[in-house]
Amino acid sequence: MKRIIIDCDPGIDDAQAIMMAYRHAEVKIEAITTVSGNVGVDLTTANALKVLDALQAPMIPVFKGARTGLVEVGENASFVHGKDGLGDAGIPASKREIQEEPAAIALIRLAKENQGELELIAIGPLTNLALALRLDPDLPTYFKRLVIMGGAYFSQGNTQNPPAEFNIYADPDAAAVVFANWSNFTMVSWEATVDHGLPFDQYQSLLNLDNPRSAFLDKVTQKSREFMKTILDGSLSFAADPLAMAVLIDPNIIQESEQKYVQIERFGRLSRGMTVVDWYGVLGHSPNVHIVRKVHINRFYQLYTLAFE
């Protein structure tokens, strides 16, 4: 059994990733930690509870995390995810309780109590991880594995700073802390997301299944579907966080990858949030990031459909 913690900013694709993990027979979600990102942390936390309601899940602890970035108040993506983060679909508030412990503290405690047993996936800005690292620099040694959705290894980002991907751009200062202090983690980038788009008609069919999960996703994705049709390539659906979750669930899905040294640009007027890859080793640093470039697309689709079926 794969035991995981999900650090996230739900967000529609976060919701799908949570559902994928919960529906997989060999995965147990030990906790969810939330962070400001797609929308503010009060909303992302409320949304995590709503997703658990849609799953009719038993009690899974949810810990609220950072309200802002380490230094600056980051951008949000409400223009994609809706003002409430779940497509403004009017999903009822959950009656589940939020844990009192702050997310960064919970990450440290849970990891120390289960050393070498838990895997961590971060599919939002990396603020909670950076705070936890500053409190306990040994945090990476407690976790079995870290996978993040973030970055753009060829600087083909999706923000107003063209080289930057959203999760990194939302808090580059936190990302810089994580990349500098957490060795040998796995990065699923925006370019990988675009390279593994799913045919839109195929994606649409998953929203018409006769079950509460499919109905929930149909409601919350209406706004984001229109965005993908009008702004992005209308023939494909892109699923960043589900792709990262697929890599966490089944590492054998990876077909092409690179081990490189990666750092975060924090100060450039046009490049803040850029993931700078030392492709040729000119800086002389040991590789710190496992960059995923290609996965088995059919296996990804099989894992992705778990969120809907």
Q: Strand, coil or helix: what is 291?
A: strand
Distance of CA 46 to the CA centre of its chain: 17
pLDDT for 73: 87
- Please provide the size of the chain in residues: 309
124 with 83: CB under 8 angstroms? Answer: no
pLDDT for 163: 94
Interacting residues of 170 by C-beta distance below 8 A, sequence separation 6+: 36, 37, 69, 74, 75, 76, 124, 125, 273
Cα 218 from Cα 225, distance rounded (Å):
10
Helix (H) or strand (E) holding 149: strand 145-149
Cis bond upstream, residue 40 (ω within 30): no
181 with 137: CB under 8 angstroms? Answer: yes
Instruction: Please report where in the chains the tokens 């913690």 appear, as a residue.
Output: 5
* Residue 190 CB-half CA count within 13 A: 22
Q: Strand, coil or helix: what is 44?
A: helix
Residues of the chain above pLDDT 70, percent = 97
Under DSSP, the state recorded for 289 is E
Closest CA to 243 of 170, 304, 307, 154: 304
41 with 47: CB under 8 angstroms? Answer: no
Cα 31 from Cα 3, distance rounded (Å):
9
pLDDT for 232: 60
pLDDT for 225: 76
pLDDT for 203: 84
Helix (H) or strand (E) holding 271: none
Residue 255 — φ and ψ, nearest 5°?
-105, -30
pLDDT for 224: 77
Q: How many separate domains does the chain show?
A: 1
Cα 154 from Cα 157, distance rounded (Å):
8
**In CATH, what number is assigned to the domain containing residue 150?**
3.90.245.10
pLDDT for 231: 62
Residue-wise pLDDT tens digits, 180-190: 999 999 999 99
Closest CA to 221 of 15, 66, 57, 71: 15
pLDDT for 176: 98
Q: Strand, coil or helix: what is 12?
A: helix
- The predicted model scores a pTM of 0.96
pLDDT for 230: 67
Helix (H) or strand (E) holding 225: helix 222-230
Q: What stretches in the chain show pLDDT beneath 70?
A: 228-234
Strand-pairing partners, residue 28, are 3
Strand-pairing partners, residue 3, are 28, 118
Q: Which structural domain range is residue 273 located in?
A: 2-307
Interacting residues of 138 by C-beta distance below 8 A, sequence separation 6+: none
